[in-house]
Amino acid sequence: MSVAQALKAVLKAYVKAELLRSKGFVIGIFSLMLWLVMFLAPTALFRSPQVSPEVISAYALVAIAVFVSYSTATWDWAWELRWLMYQGILEHVLLSGESVFVLFAGVLPVSLIWLALTITGSYALLTSLIAQPLLRIAEPLPLALGIITLGVVLIAYALLLGGVTISTGTSGPVIELIGWVLPIATGGLTPLSTLPEAIQVIALATPFSYPAELIRYGLGLSPPILDPDLTCAVGVLYAAAFLCFAVIFFKLQLKKILKEGVKTVAMY
């Protein structure tokens, strides 16, 4: 099977599994949107009188987009390897000589569709409950770099989580800290300027903070705590370095399971 045929087969399987499973897909998206909006409701209820509802709604939409992006990288990309291990498919792929990266590439269109629908639905829900999000392209280059670096960081994070999963059978508490606490605590949901100085230092030491800061700056919502040009440069370099590390780590874990076999999948 050629690479194109493999990509088509994986994509077809995921389309059938995710987009054609009756009402579950729609209900899942709606429940996620509603949960996220309720989670961010205190931001709108206790906002400063000087801040308009449209701006608050825009902040909420960016926070939802960032959170859902990490959720997609976790459940669609990284933990999908865990499911493939459980089903015995991962061993078949390795024995067939196909690249595991074909699995990521095949599921990517489905993930983007799911992400787009969730963000669009969240936009509509925020508009009806709070106000229409005030979105404008204030700084095109930082916005583009923010979106690109977010994608790179998500891929690197998914490879890191997936590498740990296939080598141990579970993600483990350490990777859960990296996957859930750090993206949220390092400016994923709120600008770094609103966080304590100690948190800012920790956030800037991770690759997770720069994409969200650039996206908010590009949309004219809030400036980064560092110089914008420096934020762009560091964000791009940090994301590239993180991706290189994640790819090397993931390939090492693949070699490890070729020698030791696929691990037993743990529940958590």
Q: How far apart are CA 51 and CA 130, in angstroms?
A: 13
Q: Is 228 exposed, middle or buried (0-12, 13-18, 19+ CB in 10 A)?
A: middle
Buried/exposed code over 103-128 (b: 16+ C-beta within 10 A; e: otherwise): bbebbbebbeebbebbbebbbebbee
Question: How high is the pLDDT of residue 217?
Answer: 93
Question: How high is the pLDDT of residue 267?
Answer: 47
Collapsing DSSP states into helix, strand and coil, what is residue 224? Answer: coil
The answer to the question of residue 214 being in a domain is yes
The answer to the question of residue 267 being in a domain is no
Residue-number span of the structural domain to which 63 is assigned? 3-260
Q: How far apart are CA 81 and CA 100, in angstroms?
A: 9
Phi-psi group of 99: left, alpha or beta (phi > 0 → left; psi -120 to 50 → alpha; rest → beta): beta
pTM (two decimals)? 0.79
The answer to the question of residue 266 being in a domain is no
The pair of structure tokens assigned to 243 is 């991706």
Number of compact structural domains in the chain: 1
List Cβ<8 Å contacts ≥24 apart for 51-56: 52/131, 52/134, 53/130, 53/131, 54/131, 54/132, 54/133, 54/134, 55/134, 55/221, 56/130, 56/131
Residue that the structure tokens 């690249």 belong to: 99
Question: How high is the pLDDT of residue 94?
Answer: 72
Question: How high is the pLDDT of residue 268?
Answer: 46
Question: How high is the pLDDT of residue 6?
Answer: 63
Q: How far apart are CA 62 and CA 221, in angstroms?
A: 10
The pair of structure tokens assigned to 83 is 């499911």
Amino acid letter, 213: E
The pair of structure tokens assigned to 110 is 């489905």
Q: What is the pLDDT along the chain (268 residues), one digit of tens a residue?
A: 566 666 666 666 666 665 555 555 566 666 666 666 666 666 666 566 677 888 888 888 888 888 888 877 777 776 677 777 766 677 777 776 667 777 777 677 777 877 888 888 888 888 887 788 888 888 999 999 999 999 999 889 888 888 877 776 665 565 566 656 666 777 777 888 888 888 888 888 888 889 999 999 999 888 999 999 999 999 999 999 999 999 999 888 888 877 766 665 554 4
